């Protein structure tokens, strides 16, 4: 890294001297050779996810991949598939990432869950609390002084523009979320259509604040459930197919599907709360924490990435 000074005349290269101030975050990340840490909690290996990241046009030698897999059957299966896909790419001489870090989760995780089950409101506090710990372990273990950016990309994001990293870094925001949609076949027309998937990208509402104010200390609001009517404007609904893809909107909560974070935001301590933080947890709590640390949070309503359809 051009910005780190290794002290001269010291053996074993074991003294590293970093000037965090010289690590840049610029709208022109690729030209500036800024390093990106691409982080994925992975309970399932989805081949389309893997093909999609390998097709990213940001210089792979500037990208470190980091994975954390649960310590359950799903995790075993995913790990094997991930490892063999890595070896496969390598055998074709196409593995050019700077580094790949694979972690096995230390903390608990729930057993395999269908979309319907894992989305039940009753399991959110436990499930998302565990996800929060997994995300924290991953970022705080894999983050190195060289990284300028952290890209959170879920293991079931199967389609993004190949210029994803350039497209997000160019906005030069501390936290920036893409809009996660899902493709499906409309059974009446037999046509492929798209629908909103991730409802965790939202703007706080008076109703949301009022609900929080009347909650017991340890209760949480998770967005996207009709049982908790927050009337928060959801980025998922702001998608305009004819709009400018680079339209930005300020957000108060984010999902974890595809979020770019300046590495300094995590270095300053922004983590994913596994406990209620302003009645929020995990990625939604992370957005609140980034804001408490003085950073702004944005989303791109017209910039779509696609979630796997089970």
Ligand X SMILES: Nc1nc2c(ncn2[C@@H]2O[C@H](COP(=O)(O)OP(=O)(O)O)[C@@H](O)[C@H]2O)c(=O)[nH]1
| Residue numbers at the binding site for its own copies (CB under 8 A) | 7, 9-11, 14-21, 23, 71, 83, 86-87, 90, 97-107, 132-133, 136-137, 139-141, 143-145, 264, 266-269, 271-275, 292-293
Query: What, of ligand X, its own copies, Mn ion, none, does residue 231 touch, CB below 5 to 8 Å by kind?
Result: none
Whose Cβ is closer to its own copies: residue 279's or residue 307's?
A: 279
DSSP states along 50-64: HHHHHT--S-GGGEE
**Contact of 168 with 178, CB cutoff 8 Å:** yes
Q: Which stretch binds ligand X (CB under 6 A): 37-45, 168-176, 188-196, 265-273?
A: 37-45
Number of CB atoms found within 10 A of residue 41's CB: 23
CB 96 to its own copies: min, Å: 10
What gap in Å lies between CA 174 and CA 57, rounded to an integer?
A: 22
Longest dimension (CA), the chain: 72
Q: Does 44 bind ligand X (CB under 6 A)?
A: yes
**Dihedral sign, Cα of residue 299, residue 155, residue 262, residue 281:** positive
Query: What, of ligand X, its own copies, Mn ion, none, does residue 42 touch, CB below 5 to 8 Å by kind?
Result: ligand X
- Helix (H) or strand (E) holding 67, with range, is strand 63-69
Whose Cβ is closer to its own copies: residue 133's or residue 164's?
A: 133
By CB under 5 A, the residues from 113 to 172 that bind Mn ion are 154, 156
Q: Which two tokens stand for residue 245?
A: 């893809």
Q: What are phi and psi of 139, to 5 degrees?
A: -70, -40
Rounded (5°) CA angle 29-34-36: 100
Binding residue (CB under 6 A) for ligand X from 1, 52, 64, 105: 105
CB 303 to ligand X: min, Å: 18
Q: Does 158 bind ligand X (CB under 6 A)?
A: no
Query: What, of its own copies, Mn ion, ligand X, none, does residue 41 touch, CB below 5 to 8 Å by kind?
Result: ligand X
3 state DSSP class of 267: helix
Rounded (5°) CA angle 62-153-63: 5
Q: Footprint of ligand X on this chain (CB under 6 A)?
A: 40-44, 68-70, 105, 109, 115, 118-119, 130-131, 134, 154-156
Q: Footprint of Mn ion on this chain (CB under 5 A)?
A: 154, 156
């Amino acid at each position: 890294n051009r910005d780190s000074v290794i002290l001269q005349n010291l053996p074993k290269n074991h003294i590293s001297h970093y000037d965090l101030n010289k690590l840049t975050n610029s709208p022109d990340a690729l030209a500036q050779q800024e390093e990106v840490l691409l982080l994925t909690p992975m309970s399932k290996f989805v081949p389309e996810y893997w093909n999609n990241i390998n097709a990213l046009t940001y210089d792979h030698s500037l990208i470190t991949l980091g994975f954390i897999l649960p310590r359950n059957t799903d995790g075993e299966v995913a790990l094997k598939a991930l490892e063999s896909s890595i070896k496969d790419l390598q055998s074709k001489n196409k593995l050019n990432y700077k580094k790949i870090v694979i972690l096995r989760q230390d903390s608990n995780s729930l057993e395999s869950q269908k979309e319907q089950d894992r989305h039940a409101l009753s399991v959110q506090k436990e499930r998302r609390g565990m996800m929060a710990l997994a995300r924290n372990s991953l970022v705080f273990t894999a983050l190195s002084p060289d990284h300028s950016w952290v890209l959170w990309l879920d293991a079931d994001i199967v389609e993004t523009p190949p210029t994803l990293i350039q497209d997000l870094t160019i906005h030069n925001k501390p936290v920036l979320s893409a809009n996660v949609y899902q493709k499906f076949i409309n059974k009446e027309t037999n046509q492929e259509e798209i629908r909103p998937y991730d409802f965790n990208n939202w703007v706080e509402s008076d109703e949301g604040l009022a609900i929080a104010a009347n909650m017991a200390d340890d209760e949480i609001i998770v967005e996207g459930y009709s049982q908790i009517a927050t009337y928060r404007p959801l980025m998922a609904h702001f998608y305009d197919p004819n709009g400018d893809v680079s339209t930005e909107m300020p957000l108060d909560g984010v999902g974890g599907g595809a979020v770019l974070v300046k590495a300094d935001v995590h270095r300053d301590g922004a983590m994913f709360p596994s406990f209620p933080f302003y009645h929020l947890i995990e990625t939604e709590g992370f957005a609140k924490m980034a804001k408490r640390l003085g950073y702004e949070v944005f989303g791109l309503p017209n910039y779509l990435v696609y979630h796997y359809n089970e």
